[in-house]
Amino acid sequence: MIKLFSVKEKAKKDAAAANGKQQKTTAGELRVQKDISELDLPKNVSLRFPDGNDKIMNFEVTLKPDEGLYKGGAFLFSFAVPSGYPHDPPKVKCLTKVYHPNIDLEGNICLNILREDWKPVLTITAVIYGLNFLFLAPNADDPLNKEAAQMMQQSPAQFERLVAQSITRGCSIGGDYFPPCRGERSS
């Protein structure tokens, strides 16, 4: 324990001394700075900061799978990093409408490290690798798009054809139209 105040002298602290030289940043932002400066991305992923270099809590990621069923497509994601980062995970949505068992038509993504398995030691890089993996190995056991998951399980060949067709030319599947996946925002 240390003595901070000298009561006898009624020492009042120099109230003027708030040094303004240390620009205010939140601990969450400091951590994102570290994550971004150390990003180690696979070749098929690119990142964009629509609000400028100094607004890094929101950004967009484009992923172009280089193998697997989704090869040939390009998918746009939005990342919104909450101020509680890294205690809280980043919020990620898929902005390109895609026929995928783990992504629903609103762009919600079922990826464990984005929710139940998030740990503060994980990084933006880890999340991007997780997304990449989701396109290499879609998982019918954790469905968000149930129709796609059933198709994948019951008629893998047909599922493969539908994926290929939807991402390259676009097509309707079960009443929903999937435009070609060119890394754009589907409205």
DSSP character for 142?
Answer: S
| Cα distances (Å, whole numbers) of residue 53 to 41, 58, 138, 150, 154 | 18, 10, 33, 43, 46
Q: What angle do CA 28, 103, 157 make, to 5 degrees?
A: 145
- Interface residue with another protein among 42, 51, 80, 119 (CB under 8 A) is 119
Q: Is 44 helix (H, G, I), strand (E, B) or coil?
A: coil
- Interface residue with another protein among 42, 68, 80, 120 (CB under 8 A) is 120
Q: Give CA torsion, residues 187, 47, 26, 129, to 10 deg.
A: 100
Rg value, the chain, Cα: 23
Question: What is the total count of residues that contact another protein (CB under 8 A)?
Answer: 63
Among residue numbers 3 through 62, which ones bind another protein (CB under 8 A)?
3-5, 7-8, 10, 12-15, 17-31, 33-34, 36-41, 47, 49, 53-56, 59
Q: Show the binding pattern over residues 65-104: x = contacts another protein (CB under 8 A), - = does not.
A: ------------------xx--xx-------------x-x
Residue 69 or 111: the one with the smaller Cβ distance to another protein is 111
Contacts for 145 with CB less than 8 Å, ≥ 6 apart: 99, 100, 101, 102, 103, 104, 105
- Contact call for residue 158 and another protein (CB under 8 A): no
Q: Give CA torsion, residues 52, 53, 59, 61, to 10 deg.
A: 110
Active site residue 110: yes
- Interface residue with another protein among 51, 80, 112, 137 (CB under 8 A) is 112
Q: Give CA torsion, residues 135, 103, 183, 35, to 10 deg.
A: -70
| Residue tagged active-site, from 94, 110, 171, 181 | 110
Residue 8 or 67: the one with the smaller Cβ distance to another protein is 8
The tally of CA atoms less than 13 A away on the side-chain side of residue 120 is 9
Minimum CB–partner distance for residue 122 and another protein (Å): 11
Residues that bind another protein (CB under 8 A): 1-5, 7-8, 10, 12-15, 17-31, 33-34, 36-41, 47, 49, 53-56, 59, 83-84, 87-88, 102, 104, 106, 108-110, 112, 114-116, 118-120, 142-144, 146
- The residues that are catalytic are 110
